[in-house]
Structure 1
Amino acid sequence: MLELVGVRKTYQTGTLTVEALRGIDMSVQESDYIAIMGPSGSGKSTLMHILGCLDVPSAGVYRLAGEDVGQLDERRLADIRNRRIGFVFQQFNLLPALSAWRNVELPLVYAGVPRARRRERAIAALGLVGLEDRIDHKPGELSGGQQQRVAVARALVTEPALLLADEPTGNLDSTSTQDVLALFAELHAQGRTIVLITHEHEVAEAAARTLVIRDGEIVDVIAQEEMRAAARRSGAAAAAAARLTAGLGRVAR
């Protein structure tokens, strides 16, 4: 599916050279579900841009479906973005004046798909995410979780080989977060290839494995069961801290 070998990315800011990625080696097979987790400034967003062909490496090789992305011109990169990759972002980026199905059909408009076929495919994509009864609702008439499902349907409508989700639960409450993660699990069970970018243990544990990135380098690869154990420990520590804070408050009173 995709492979990165020795990928580096540097940016020039005045006289300062910033090395955002420092020799990334990773691969994703067809039907994989992986998470890339790291704190702010770790390089995960830069890595997402390269995986999504929104940027190209400064050095190293990125192969997507056998093609060396670094050797492609902008027109070919745009074609890959439009046809092979479905994007889901933290911001839903839905047009408020359009219904759900009209939002979902937009990638097909740019792809030149005939009007009647666009509606058919958009409604089918909304069915995949469980919103077949909301096709005529506008974003303002939907919950946050439902809006993100519309965004996922829009990402799926071109039938991409890769679903790339960048902090997809960042604007959602805990219930909607679990709903979206359950949807990703269902899509993965259907054979979809998913790469999920996050900074949260609880979100990363949904993936089959997690690549931990820090200071532009992948420093660990963690299996799902290890991630779940780490999330349980994190949750227990947070609960203990909350109880301690509450106890200190009672003592102070």
Structure 2
Amino acid sequence: MLELVGIGKTYRSGILEVEALRGVDLRVDEGEFVSTMGPSGSGKSTLMHIIGCLDIPTVGQYLLAGEDVSAMTEAQLADVRNRRIGFVFQQFNLLPALSAWRNVELPLVYAGVPRAERRRRAVSALERVGLAERVDHRPSELSGGQQQRVSVARALVTDPQLILADEPTGNLDSVATADVLALFDDLHDQGRTIVLITHEHDVAERAGRTVHMHDGRLLDAAPMGAR
């Protein structure tokens, strides 16, 4: 599904340079569920931004489904982000004035999908995450766990090849965390490719493989069971 080869990322501000990533090599196969762990400042968020085409590497090559993403234009990257990658964020990133289904339809708006088709697909995505009775509710009328389910539905609505989740349980209580992780388990069972960032070991253990970051380097990529 994706392959990073010699990825480096340097941020510059005046004379100051910060190496966020240093020679990262990573391969994720189609249908894999991979978690990424590391302390604050280890580079895991930068890695996620590059995988999600939200940032570009300073050096190295990124292949997504065999296509060289690192050579794409900004317009091409925007198309990849909208059509081929689904994002789930810690803060949910829902628009408070919009209902659940209107939040979910947003990627389809950007893709130019007709209104009637947008609603059909948005409602279907909400049904898949167990929110069939909440399609017209605004975020303020939903619990934290339900809001995160809306976020997952939004990630699924374009039928992406890859789902990226950045601390998706960071703002949830234990019950909502269990519900959201069960949802990711179901997505994995359906053959979705998932890359998840977390600082929680019990969350990371739900993945089939965990990679560890430290000082911008990938330390290992061993299966959790091998530890």
Q: Shorter-chain TM-score: which interval?
A: over 0.9
SS of structure 1 residue aligned to 2:41: coil
Q: Which runs of 5+ in 1 are unaligned?
A: 228-253
Equivalence for 2:26: 26
**Higher helix proportion:** 1
Q: Retained in 2: the 8 A contact 1:4–1:25?
A: yes
Task: Give the C-alpha shift of residue 218 in structure 1.
Answer: 0.8
Match of 1:238 in 2: none
CA distance in 2: counterparts of 1:80 and 1:65, whole angstroms? 11
Deviations 1:213-251 (CA, angstroms, capped at 9, x unpaired): 100011122323357xxxxxxxxxxxxxxxxxxxxxxxx
Which residue of 2 is the match for residue 237 of structure 1?
Answer: none
Letter of the 1:179 counterpart: D
Map residues 1-253 of structure 1 onto 2, 5 A cutoff. 1-226=1-226
RMSD: 1.0
Query: SS of the counterpart of 1:133?
Result: helix
Q: Could you say what secondary structure the match of 1:147 adopts?
A: helix
Query: What is the one-letter code of the residue matched to 1:51?
Result: I
1:113-132: CA deviation from partner (whole Å, max 9, x where unpaired): 01110110001100111111
Q: Distance in 1 between matches of 2:24 and 2:199?
A: 18
Question: How many Å apart are 1:49 and its aligned residue?
Answer: 0.5
* CA deviation map 1:62-112 (0-9, x unaligned): 111111111110000000000000000111111112111111111111111
The residue aligned with 1:246 is none
Asked which structure has the greater CA Rg, the reply is 1
What count of residue pairs does the alignment treat as equivalent? Answer: 227
TM-score, scaled to structure 2: 0.98
- Paired letter, 1:177: T
What secondary structure sits across from 1:88 in the alignment? strand
Q: Percent identity?
A: 70
The separation in 1 between residues aligned to 2:206 and 2:53, in whole angstroms, is 25
CA distance in 2, matches of 1:61, 1:172: 35
Which residue type is aligned with residue 185 of structure 1? Answer: D
| Amino acid in the other structure paired with 1:176 | A
Q: Please tell me whether the aligned partners of residues 206 and 224 of structure 1 are also in contact (alpha carbons under 8 angstroms).
A: no
Give the counterpart letter for 2:118 in structure 1. Answer: R
Residue 45 of structure 1, CA deviation: 0.6
- Structure 2 gap segments, 5+ residues each: none
Would you identify which runs of 4 or more consecutive aligned residues in structure 1 move more than 3 Å?
A: none
Displacement after TM superposition at 1:13 (Å): 2.2
- In the TM superposition, what is the alpha-carbon distance from 1:168 to its structure 2 partner? 0.7
Deviations 1:182-211 (A, max 9, x none): 100001001111000111111111100000
CA distance in 1, matches of 2:225, 2:147: 30
